[in-house]
Structure 1
């Protein structure tokens, strides 16, 4: 003689077998939450819409922007950063995110003159730029908690020599990996990036 479950236990057993649609919804919601968390706190993908960072970065390059490093240390000279438009940029009618190379750190004196970029009286040896800058700029001293950034395509870049500095609170993260196009897949060369061996005193 078979025994049947009490009605209350049968009801509990049925409750455990949730509707497949509910399970799908839960899975999708969890995936969205995880994706949002990763994009907000860890890393996100971005693409290059302009030529301002050529030849290092080409139009339509796809990059991974990691966001963890700057939670533990400040940006370093030579790193390529992505940042939200500053107030000065927005006043020029632009918005969204920008990508440039860090040239001046807080307290640095920066001068652009005669085709050279000088930081604290020393000329940067920049093998990665499209061509030498054809404009003069400075001298300026980078304010606290801010950074002076320039595009590698110096003469076709709206950057700090046009609109000023990037406050650290505007920085989204650091460009680390190019994942598209596949034939240029890999890490982004930051020239390690301005080690003392890459800086020489003006003659």
Structure 2
């Protein structure tokens, strides 16, 4: 009798160990897949105020642009052309084939003046020389920060090559309860009246850069917790 109990106990322990190992393997696979699909970054600087605040954490979608081209109005993270050691975050204003004119604070795309609701009057300005009828070349993008007075962007150093784009910023998730927490708003209506069809696409650090922020122990625990609870639930049911 004692032998049967001992054998049952060993089988139970073996099952628990196996389920824990399976859960850990599944969690690691999920963690790897998530890191391939999304990346989180720390905003470092004011160049995207008021849309993004300094020190906020944002989630970047790295998959969508494998399915379709970047669009006007998208907030993107990219390898900075002035310094490939840095990642910048800016808003796409012009896509391949667009003709850009910027005189003072007036921005024109294909001769259409943009009414940019995402640019706050308190951050409006332009410390750079005028740009007149500059065409965005194929495979490149024209980007600007929403803080027009304090952003080093395409007005200064030119276009962003398509291969430099890491992904689209989609979500502000830390800190909580900020004025802009949550998903970044869709601003495609700002560009809805832009005429002409664009061609298909084939600090500075303290002002523009992002810090690559890998998942920490707490975030890993967040992803591991559902699997752990599942194991506990399965164990309780089988006892």
Please give the range of the TM-score, normalised by the shorter of the 2 chains.
Answer: 0.7 to 0.9
Which residues of structure 2 form unaligned runs of 5+?
1-9, 196-239
Aligned residue among 69, 74, 83 for 1:74: 69
Q: Considering only aligned residues, what root-mean-square deviation do their CA atoms show, in Å?
A: 2.7
Q: Tell me how far apart the structure 2 counterparts of residues 160 and 149 of structure 1 sit (CA, whole Å).
A: 5
- Per-residue CA shift, 1:122-173, capped at 9, x if unaligned? 1111122121434333221111011010000112111111111111111111
Counterpart position of 1:6: none
Q: Tell me how far apart the structure 2 counterparts of residues 23 and 85 of structure 1 sit (CA, whole Å).
A: 45
Aligned residue among 153, 156, 159 for 1:165: 159
- Contact kept in structure 1, 2:104 and 2:130, CA below 8 Å: no
Structure 1 residue 136 and structure 2 residue 119: aligned? no
Counterpart position of 2:228: none
Structure number with the higher helix fraction is 2
| Range with greater deviation from structure 2 (50-59 or 119-128) | 119-128
Counterpart position of 1:178: 172
| Range with greater deviation from structure 2 (70-79 or 24-33) | 24-33
1:48–1:109 CA distance, 2 compared to 1 (3 A):
same
Task: Give the Å deviation of 1:23.
Answer: 8.8
Q: Tell me how far apart the structure 1 counterparts of residues 141 and 189 of structure 2 sit (CA, whole Å).
A: 15
Task: Give the Å deviation of 1:51.
Answer: 0.3
- Contact kept in structure 2, 1:116 and 1:132, CA below 8 Å: no
Structure 1 residue 189 and structure 2 residue 195: aligned? no
TM-score by length of 1: 0.76
TM-score by length of 2: 0.65
Q: Tell me how far apart the structure 2 counterparts of residues 111 and 25 of structure 1 sit (CA, whole Å).
A: 59
